[in-house]
Structure 1
Amino acid sequence: MTIEVAEHAGFCFGVGQALEKAEHILSTRGGGEKRIYTCGLLIHNKLVTDELQERGLSVIRGPEEAEEGSVVIVRAHGEPKRFYEKAEERHLEIVDATCPYVKRIQKLASEACEKGRQVVIVGDRTHPEVIGISGWTGDSAAVAASGEEAEQIAGDHLTVVAQTTITEAMFEEVISILRRNKTDVEVFHTICSATEERQKSCADLALRSDLMVVIGGKNSSNSKKLYELSKKNCENTHFVEILSDLPLKEVAKCNKIGIAAGASTPERIIKEVIAAMSEAITENKDLQEQVEEGGMEALMDEIEKSLRLPGRGEIVTGEIIQVSKDYIVVNLGCKKDGIIPIEELSLEGDQELADLYKPGDEIQAKVVKTADGDGSILLSKKKLQVNEHWDEINAALDNKEVVNAKVVKEVKGGVIAVYKEVSGFIPMSQLSDHYVEKADEFIGKVLPVKVSRVDQKRNKAVFSHKAYLNEEKQKKIAEIWDNLHVGDVVEGTVMRFTDYGAFVDIGGLDGLLHISEISWGKLKHPQEALEIGQKINVKILSMNAEKGKISLGLKQNQPEPWSIIDDKYQVGQVIKGRVVQIKDYGAFVELEPGLDGLVHISEVAYKRVTNIADEISVGQEVDAKILEIDRDRKRISLSIKETLDNSIYRDEDASEEYADEAAYDESPAADEAAETAAEE
């Protein structure tokens, strides 16, 4: 004699989630000022709902029955849009436990309705899930549960969804009729995969069983469908809601007994049914003789093993049976499926779960939360990987390797950065190779870091982005030194000034451009010829690798003016220049940087000049004539007066001579003075 429990028996994910939320609210807020309600039975299982009511969960038919400000739990079946609008009007606090699968269907129906399409729901029009979905179409959705009802559906542009718990046969029948009669039929297969698996395993088990027991609530749609499927394959099928419904006499006569349970059936009820049947079998004397010594005990152990849930921290392997946008459902081979939420899986960039995982794939994860009661099994892929990630961090420390860590938040004295599942601290002083006052600009960025310290026992690691930057800078500098040679001309950027020159970045390495090497002319400060940020071509004059110093030149990119003077200047040529210096004996005029000429005081004007500053000033542009070029002594003599009109000076001289003659006529002494003046 054997007792076998069908796979996927007991709570589905949606029901388990709803019950968890209800129990949490009752545990934390039960007996408080606000009353706690659920609109309709939370799940279709009388034993469970009776227990919840005893703990303070009251059942109402609609939000208008709840006191203003009270708490209302939305059950797994979901509610229509008008429910939420009414709840908001009454200031109700909503705890939404709608099954994620149902929420997706509601969204699909709503979007199709907004596009002007006729929504068709394949399912039971009286079922709360179908009522809720229809409510997101303004109750305009058509409902069909058979081919006959599908024949009556009007409209040309159809969007078809399914109640999560209907049979595949019903869905296919309706779809085939619609596609035969309509040209535009958009179909979304929304039967819950857990429901499909539950129905399939029940039907398969019924085929090889002498007796089938289907455990579920009398109002449970999915439990009724399990009964119908089982009845087709095993005539001796019984529907059990409570233990008194169990046909113990018939059970005791059978060799192969199968058990299936609806999505709202608690695991403890399944165990109680098995225990009752086992007791009935052992009490039957005829069968007792057939059971070998220890056989029943082994049977119970096997059943217990199949019902055992993995413990917290245990590493489990299972098969992926569903991949949604927000989580993965995993068959663990026990009576509960495991759930891996998206936050417990490692994704990169814009990756989605469907990009990495497919139904049928095997996956290993770590149990984060489990219970012997009715809660779901929460799994984590990240926590399984965390030990591997710590190994990688330790290896990076030992081998002085670089890892990429994402900065997630600022804390006192620095930031927290995450490498895979390992969180590390980056002190503010190690965030950059320059001073950082606030870490705002780094939040959300992925930084290459060196591992400075690891304390795995305390789950602590210290990272340094500065160490990485300095290492990269040294590599770059070494590469630059290897590729530079004296005499090379390279592009650089003027970074900063000093009184004695400018520092120029030549690709990650600063070189000094001395003020004397900027121009062939004389400069008082480098900013007379350069600007910060300016791009210039400089020549490498010298390199000292030991001291890390490079001397640069800019003027070397232009010929030295005296070397080409014959090509540009000749005696007698009139040039434009700028007065750069004034002396008692004359003024120096710059023809171009590095090339000055002297205007002797006697060549400033045709008149007598006693103070040259009265005639010209520093910075003034003047025309001058080249009188002489002395290449050996590198001297140029210039004349300003030679470029002037001297007629006015001749008229002035004539009038002076007339006055002098008159004076001479009056006095011989004056005449002598005039001659002396003329000689001078």
Structure 2
Amino acid sequence: MSVEVAKTAGFCFGVRRAVDMAEHEAARHAGIYAYGEIIHNTHEIRRLAAKGVRTAQEISDIPDGASVLVRAHGVPAGCYDALRAKGCKVLDATCPFVAKIHRIVAEESKGGRKIVIFGSRNHPEVVGIQGWCEGSTVFETPEEVQQAADAGALPADTPVSVVAQTTINRKLWEKSIEILKKQCTNCKIFDTICNATDERQAEARLLAGKSDTMIVIGDKKSSNTKRLYEISKSLCHEVLYIEDAAELPQADREQLSQRHIGITAGASTPAWIIKEVSNMMSEETKIENGEDFAAMLEESFKTLNTGDKVTGTVIQITATDVQVDLGVKHAAYIPLGELSDDPAYKVEEQYKPGDEIEAVVVRVNDGEGTITLSKKRVDQLKGWETIETAKEEHTVVEGTIIEENRGGVVATAFGVRVFIPASQTGIPKDQPMAQLLKTKQSFYITEINRQRKRVVGSIRAVQQEARKAAAEKIWETIEVGQEFKGVVKSLTSYGAFVDIGGVDGMIHISELSWGRIKHPSEVVAIGDEVNVYVIGLDKENKKISLGYKRAEDNPWNIFKANYAVDDVATVKILKFMPFGAFAEIIPGVDGLIHISQIADHRIAKPDEVLTIGQEVEAMIIDINDEKKKVSLSIRAAMNGADDDADED
């Protein structure tokens, strides 16, 4: 007798997750209630009952304040509200794939679309899905869909959204979809059949097609096990549908001895039942690939040790951890703090249920039946190799600054902590290093001590190399008149120093403003971005003179563009001199009103008729473009006004 066991036989990760949660929570809470059967397997329900998991078919059967586990098949949305109203602690073991369907139908129904569900009407999963939407219709076969179409129950213009029970037969689903697409012009299809179901059914087809006898193990209430039986029955002459080893008749065991046997099991069938069937068939049975069947099944009961590197499947992401299926009897969790050292890390952007994840075992609790994992330790193991290579090859490493301490800052790169001394942060002594926190920085690795797990880096070294390369490029191409965008680095009493991309240049105070200023801080501040141009070069001594004020902003040019001799302007008296008064025509351009031009009569001093800050009308009587001087006359403006009055 040769025996070939389907690799997909037994618990899927959604069912294993529910069972693990039931065991774990029952141990923590000294017994819990399950609302509905956790899974469709009577034997497993009995085993869990012995561990303190009591099954309640109605919410009224659950005491107020009890801890309640929601079954893997899911429940209607209203059940959560009802349980919370009783003060119950709700522990949700709904399969992640089923929960996804709940979200889909809730959103689609809210958008005014009619929900069509393809599945078994009375199946708990379908009942649960219906409880998350309004106005749903359930079809079990393509024939039912066709009948509804023929009867006009599906109007062509009705917006319809279609989902499937996760364990439904794909061929029947595809036939139904074809009919719906022809009937409904506004139809959205959501393929929600579980991949594990597809794989299980596909493997059953292959196995049944080459076996003399197929043995299908699972509870008679299990929908997915029934599908496996139907598939096997259509391809294999003899199919045995059993719930446990006791249902395998003695006569059949003797007849099977000369045949090729195929074995598959439903997603709700625990490994210990499959193992019992195997042991009763033969003590010497070998799987086709040469592995001992009992040994393979024993894998699901294997224990792990601290430090073991494992690969598992993400089954749920919660506010506190990531739950992982490792294919063992223990429930495995990665606390959020063990995912990454990066404070900006968002697990929901990196993983989703069904994804594979690598981790290291950090704690095994046999008493609670849990395994604590760490992903960041795997990253650290890989990261050390990357960090060491970066040091050897002098390549730049990018990391995120996560801490500040007295000596400097700490970055995380490839899961490894890198200390960057204050002197190597690139931050001036008078500025806080805290400005680097949560930012990404590039640095070189300057020191590694694997034994002490110490890594030292330098941001400053990267900056210096970058500045040196930029400076060389600038000195090769810089010319008088060339414009740059720079950053003000420091201020002195005589000017401002500006970094123009690796090289510093100076703007003399006289080049900062067309007006009079006492200090550069009146115009610019440290850190300001400024547009400058080169007005002088000394390549031998590496000195650059920069200009900041623009010709188009020159007050004299503005004055010349708007005023001419004989024009009358409103001017403001600025100061007095023995020979007259200075007045501002526009900001930056002053004119002299000679004492003889202040009044139409003789005065000894300007302040006899004028005051500082006073605004008066004055005529421009002369413009000296070479010396940039303007002569004004209040008397001429007054006489001009009188002449105008006489003409009127």
* Pairwise same-fold verdict (TM > 0.5): yes
In the alignment, structure 1 segments of 5+ residues that lack a partner are: 283-294, 562-567, 647-680
Which residue matches 1:155? 154
- The Cα of 1:18 is off from its aligned counterpart by 0.9
Q: Which amino acid aligns with 1:264?
A: S
Match of 2:397 among 397, 403, 406: 403
Match of 1:63 among 42, 53, 59: 59
Q: Deviations over 1:248-279 (max 9, x none)?
A: 44334333222211111222322232222223
Which residue matches 2:10? 10
Aligned residue for 1:49, secondary structure, equals helix
Distance 1:625 1:379 in 2: 87
- The Cα of 1:122 is off from its aligned counterpart by 2.1
Which residue matches 1:276? 280
Please say which of residues 121-130 and 445-454 is displaced more in the overlay.
Answer: 445-454
Distance 2:75 2:34 in 1: 11
Match of 1:301 among 277, 292, 295: 292
Which residue matches 2:538? 543
- The Cα of 1:644 is off from its aligned counterpart by 12
Query: CA 1:433–1:230 in structure 2 vs 1: closer, same or farther (change >3 Å)?
Result: same
Q: Deviations over 1:454-507 (max 9, x none)?
A: 45556664555455445434443443344335x546567795997742215362
Distance 2:572 2:112 in 1: 83
- The Cα of 1:100 is off from its aligned counterpart by 1.4
Which residue matches 2:169? 167
Distance 1:576 1:137 in 2: 78
Answering whether residue 418 of structure 2 is matched by residue 419 of structure 1, we say no
Aligned residue for 1:136, secondary structure, equals coil
Q: Which amino acid aligns with 1:525?
A: K
Q: Deviations over 1:597-645 (max 9, x none)?
A: 99899x9999796x89889999999989999x9x9xx9x9x99999899
Q: Which amino acid aligns with 1:304?
A: A
1:399-548 matches, cutoff 5 A: 399-407=393-401, 409=402, 417-424=411-418, 433-434=427-428, 437=432, 439=434, 443=438, 445-456=439-450, 461-485=455-479, 488=481, 490=483, 495=488, 500-505=493-498, 507-508=500-501, 509-515=503-509, 525-526=518-519, 540-541=535-536, 543=538
Structure 1 contact 501–515 (Cα < 8 Å) conserved = yes
Aligned residue for 2:65, secondary structure, equals coil
Q: Deviations over 1:167-192 (max 9, x none)?
A: 23433454455456555544333222
Query: CA 1:325–1:50 in structure 2 vs 1: closer, same or farther (change >3 Å)?
Result: closer
- The Cα of 1:16 is off from its aligned counterpart by 1.1
- The Cα of 1:15 is off from its aligned counterpart by 0.2
Please say which of residues 17-26 and 242-251 is displaced more in the overlay.
Answer: 242-251
- The Cα of 1:554 is off from its aligned counterpart by 7.1
Structure 1 contact 213–237 (Cα < 8 Å) conserved = yes
Q: Which amino acid aligns with 1:72?
A: V
1:623-634 matches, cutoff 5 A: none
Aligned residue for 2:264, secondary structure, equals strand
Match of 2:100 among 98, 104, 109: 104
Aligned residue for 1:141, secondary structure, equals strand
May I ask how many residue pairs the two structures share in their alignment? 601
Query: CA 1:489–1:624 in structure 2 vs 1: closer, same or farther (change >3 Å)?
Result: farther
Distance 1:5 1:296 in 2: 7
Q: Deviations over 1:421-461 (max 9, x none)?
A: 44545677766635654847853x44334435445556664
Match of 1:205 among 204, 207, 215: 207
Structure 2 contact 409–433 (Cα < 8 Å) conserved = no
Q: Deviations over 1:219-239 (max 9, x none)?
A: 222223222322333333223
Q: Deviations over 1:274-332 (max 9, x none)?
A: 222223x69xxxxxxxxxxxx999966366258646967777999x9x99999x9x999
Which residue matches 1:125? 121
Match of 2:262 among 239, 242, 258: 258
1:74-113 matches, cutoff 5 A: 74-113=70-109
- The Cα of 1:50 is off from its aligned counterpart by 1.7
Structure 2 contact 33–55 (Cα < 8 Å) conserved = yes
Distance 1:48 1:417 in 2: 49
Q: Which amino acid aligns with 1:271?
A: K
Distance 2:99 2:55 in 1: 22
Query: CA 1:226–1:558 in structure 2 vs 1: closer, same or farther (change >3 Å)?
Result: closer
Structure 1 contact 504–511 (Cα < 8 Å) conserved = yes
- The Cα of 1:131 is off from its aligned counterpart by 1.0
Please say which of residues 262-271 and 385-394 is displaced more in the overlay.
Answer: 385-394
TM-score (norm 2): 0.70
Distance 2:548 2:124 in 1: 86
Distance 2:71 2:332 in 1: 19
Q: Deviations over 1:378-412 (max 9, x none)?
A: 999987665444333223334443233245x5566
Structure 1 contact 494–503 (Cα < 8 Å) conserved = no
- The Cα of 1:10 is off from its aligned counterpart by 0.9
Match of 1:238 among 231, 237, 240: 240
Q: Deviations over 1:134-181 (max 9, x none)?
A: 112247433324624752472323433222122234334544554565
1:379-398 matches, cutoff 5 A: 387-398=381-392
Q: Which amino acid aligns with 1:275?
A: N
Query: CA 1:418–1:227 in structure 2 vs 1: closer, same or farther (change >3 Å)?
Result: same
TM-score (norm 1): 0.67
Query: CA 1:67–1:538 in structure 2 vs 1: closer, same or farther (change >3 Å)?
Result: same
Structure 2 contact 572–613 (Cα < 8 Å) conserved = yes
Structure 1 contact 161–190 (Cα < 8 Å) conserved = yes
Q: Which amino acid aligns with 1:147?
A: E
Q: Deviations over 1:545-573 (max 9, x none)?
A: 657675769799999x9xxxxxx999xxx
Query: CA 1:604–1:136 in structure 2 vs 1: closer, same or farther (change >3 Å)?
Result: closer
In the alignment, structure 2 segments of 5+ residues that lack a partner are: 557-562, 640-648
Distance 1:179 1:494 in 2: 63
Distance 1:519 1:57 in 2: 82
Distance 2:73 2:500 in 1: 65
Which residue matches 1:678? none
Which residue matches 2:645? none
1:571-650 matches, cutoff 5 A: none
Distance 1:181 1:441 in 2: 61
Query: CA 1:541–1:645 in structure 2 vs 1: closer, same or farther (change >3 Å)?
Result: same
Answering whether residue 37 of structure 2 is matched by residue 41 of structure 1, we say yes
Structure 2 contact 278–293 (Cα < 8 Å) conserved = no
RMSD: 6.0
Percent of residue pairs identical: 30
Structure 2 contact 359–376 (Cα < 8 Å) conserved = no
Query: CA 1:577–1:274 in structure 2 vs 1: closer, same or farther (change >3 Å)?
Result: closer
Please say which of residues 411-420 and 36-45 is displaced more in the overlay.
Answer: 411-420
Aligned residue for 2:132, secondary structure, equals helix
Distance 1:116 1:517 in 2: 68
Distance 2:482 2:5 in 1: 84
Distance 2:207 2:107 in 1: 40
Answering whether residue 50 of structure 2 is matched by residue 51 of structure 1, we say no
Structure 1 contact 315–364 (Cα < 8 Å) conserved = no
Query: CA 1:432–1:45 in structure 2 vs 1: closer, same or farther (change >3 Å)?
Result: farther
Structure with bigger gyration radius: 1
- The Cα of 1:8 is off from its aligned counterpart by 0.3
Q: Which amino acid aligns with 1:263?
A: A
Q: Deviations over 1:91-110 (max 9, x none)?
A: 22111111111112222333
